[in-house]
Amino acid sequence: MDREQLAGFYRRYIQCWNDRRLDELREYVADDVRVNDAEQDPERYVAGMEDVFSAFPDFHWDLRHLLIDGDWISAHFTVTGTHQGTFLGVPASGRAIVAQEFAVYLIGDGKIAEVWGATDHLTILNQLTV
């Protein structure tokens, strides 16, 4: 894929998450995807977000910056949600959160082959417990 195709691919991928069209994520994720250096299958990849969606049913990624270099994609997001369930040991508070997330992806054979991600959990915890 060229740069424009990769950008479109990635924006469609994030929209699947935001729309909770989880059954479509297989189109974007390799069968042996590596997440933060651990191999996962697509089902486990999606299941990793179920705790977040349980705690923040309206969790949303707002893509702020997208950088593409060859087969590499880097993304910066503002994430938002309303705390409706236990998250990182904190029971539901009803509070809204806003935090930053960064992710780097390697695309191989037209799918996400590797991903490294970091969400600012300290900021989220501070917003839930202050």
State residue 19's pLDDT score: 96
Whichever domain contains 88, its CATH number is: 3.10.450.50
10's tokens: 């990635």
Phi (first) and psi of residue 74, to 5 degrees: -120, 135
> Stretch 65-93: mean pLDDT, rounded?
97
Q: What percent of the chain has pLDDT over 70?
A: 100
Pairing mode of beta strands 29-35, 111-119 = parallel
Domain that holds residue 34: 3-129
- Summarised one tens digit per residue, pLDDT across range 20-78 is 999 998 899 999 999 999 999 888 888 888 889 999 999 999 999 999 999 999 999 99
Alpha carbons 80 and 103: distance in angstroms, whole number: 16
| Number of domain units in the chain | 1
